[in-house]
Structure 1
Amino acid sequence: MEMKACNFVLFSCLVVVSFLVSSSSAQTCLSQTFPNNMQYANCTDLPVLNSYLHWTYNQSDGTVEIAFRRTNSTSSQWSAWGINPSGPRMVGTQALVALVNSSGVAQAFTTSIDSFAPSMQQTDLSFPVPSLSATFDNNEITIFAVLIIPQNLTSTSQVWQEGEVSNGQIQPHSTSGDNVQSTASINFLTGQ
């Protein structure tokens, strides 16, 4: 009888520990912090690709400060987030892209997605991006940016993506699963 009671207690302890470990590893945007105590007025847990968007919109000058974070990333992957005024699709997206370069440093650049086989080379966007940087730490890549958007882009579509980097070159992302479901609407003004 003592052995059964001991096994039950051990099993109960394992269940509780397992629950605590799984709950603590589940992230939400509300639990995320940033360097230098940076804070954002709004955030959203994006539904796929372990991604989160944080932002603060300043209506007086049309700036949006954003932090796009993707967890469970590796140094051999690229990540991107962008807005698409023409709808929830890849072509037309004004994108911010980040990757870890051959020196092991995270870098970010802008690119306009103009086809289903984009060059993914640095290009200007249809709106100014006066500040852009990226970090890679603890298998999380984060893109920090300031966008100056026109009034008609305060409510728009957002697109985010991930893919592999091989020999310093961005490879096409998967065309199935979560990679084709990574779109949502966003309203910078209302925070939705």
Structure 2
Amino acid sequence: MTNIPLLVALAALLSPLLATAHDCSQDFRAEAEKMMPNSTRIQSCRRKTLAAELAWSFDRASRGLHVAFGAQLRREDTGWLAWGVNPGGPHMDGTRAVIGIKQRNGSYGCHKYNVTAATKSRRCPLVPADDIDIGVEFSSYRMEYVPRLDYHVIVATVVLPEKEFNSLETHVVWQIGEHINGNEPLMHPKSLNNFDSTETLDLQSVKIISYTRHRRFKLRIVHGVLNIVGWGTLLPSGAIVARYMRIFPKPCVRWYDVHVSCQTTGYIIGSSGWALGLWLGKASQNYKFNIHNTAGLIIFILSTIQMLAWRLRPAPDDGYRTYWNMYHHFLGYAIMALISFNIFLGIKILEPEHVWKWAYIGVLGGLGSVALSFELLGWTKFLIEKSSSSKPT
């Protein structure tokens, strides 16, 4: 049942595994150079999660880190950009940040903030701390709009105290949100890319030491590919084999072996993807996707029940065989519908390149085309045979 277009579609899904951090666009780099302090040379300019770009330069003598962080805001009326450093690790709690805010009247404001556990949990509002010592010294911070890029850009300089910040291992956090309450940025979208917007930098050698997104993002890619190949491709292929190979173009005596092989391989691969998803859920305590997780558990349980049919199905002459066939077919179609729903939901959560969604649509389209072609052939054969049998001899 495998064909070249299907392999190409699956290869497109695997391509993000090879992806690494990319240099920023030349246009953003040019704009960032204009915004940096005089005679400051950009040392690093990279694309980040959330379709953002970050340019920076570090002065060892003054321990000043000059940054330009830019991205498009999703809403036209309001939105906010945040960039900061965290002495405790690559996470939100404890981050000292500058946040640029676009107000409803079109004006821009930029303030410094201290993101604590209380503000993260919304127990207290996240308010500007421009006149408060937050442990690091931000200066010359502002927010600008670059029309030719449709970017809003935060420009700032932060002096990192030597006691709290190690320039060989500096933790950086960034974020983009849509809603505000005055100068208070409200909760950002709850996508994986929003939660993964952290990294650890070596400011002296200009290297990314630890990039949270690289590690877990690649595991999520593996999780998605295993589920799409196992649950989303091989299981439907096995159903197509069972429905059509035993009938035409000419009966295949080995159809059951092919059917079981497709289902067993798909079950093993899909279960591996599901188990990896469980591990990722345990390793990611900051966010849960209950619908996706529950649907995955139901798929695994029902598919396990289906696999038991290999040993527990009644004999062909058993009176219960007809009812068992009805249950087996209905449950199989229900599982495939749930699988398609959950795969699309997973793609939405992961927010990868659009090629993912279209590749999986291509997989479904290919399988659907094969099934539809066989269905039309079957009805054509049936009508021809019926017409021949109705003719007088």
Q: TM-score, normalised by structure 2?
A: 0.39
CA distance in 1, matches of 2:55, 2:173: 14
Conserved 8 A contact 1:105-1:136: no
CA distance in 2, matches of 1:67, 1:171: 22
Runs of 4+ in structure 1 off by over 4 angstroms are none
Aligned to 2:237: none
Cα 1:131–1:166 change in 2 (3 A) is closer
Out of 126, 131, 137, the residue aligned to residue 128 of structure 1 is: 137
* Bigger Rg over Cα: 2
CA distance in 1, matches of 2:32, 2:92: 31
For structure 2, the residue ranges without an aligned partner over 5 or more in a row are 1-21, 36-40, 208-393
Out of 162, 176, 181, the residue aligned to residue 176 of structure 2 is: 162
Deviation at 1:30, TM superposition (A): 4.5
CA distance in 2, matches of 1:101, 1:153: 36
Conserved 8 A contact 1:134-1:144: yes
Structure 2 residue 193 is the aligned partner of structure 1 residue 178: yes
Output the amino acid matched with 1:187: D
Conserved 8 A contact 1:73-1:140: no
CA distance in 1, matches of 2:181, 2:128: 18
Q: Secondary structure at 1:49's aligned position in 2?
A: helix
CA distance in 2, matches of 1:37, 1:79: 20
% identical aligned pairs = 23
Aligned to 2:59: 58
Deviation at 1:146, TM superposition (A): 1.0
CA distance in 1, matches of 2:54, 2:99: 14
Out of 148, 152, 156, the residue aligned to residue 145 of structure 1 is: 156
Deviation at 1:130, TM superposition (A): 2.0
Output the amino acid matched with 2:144: T
Out of 80, 101, 104, the residue aligned to residue 103 of structure 2 is: 101
Aligned to 1:29: 24
Deviations 1:134-190 (A, max 9, x none): 112333111001111123342221111111225645321123321111111122222
Give the strand-richer structure, 1 or 2. Answer: 1
For structure 1, the residue ranges without an aligned partner over 5 or more in a row are 1-26
CA distance in 2, matches of 1:37, 1:174: 31
Give the helix-richer structure, 1 or 2. Answer: 2
Aligned to 1:82: 84
Instruction: State the structure with bigger RCO (CA 8 A, min sep 6), 1 or 2.
Output: 1
Aligned to 2:289: none
Deviation at 1:64, TM superposition (A): 1.2
CA distance in 2, matches of 1:175, 1:91: 16
RMSD (Å), alpha carbons: 2.3
Deviation at 1:83, TM superposition (A): 1.1
Cα 1:74–1:186 change in 2 (3 A) is farther
Stretch of structure 1 that moved more, 120-129 or 150-159: 150-159
Cα 1:35–1:157 change in 2 (3 A) is closer
Q: TM-score, normalised by structure 1?
A: 0.76
Output the amino acid matched with 1:149: L
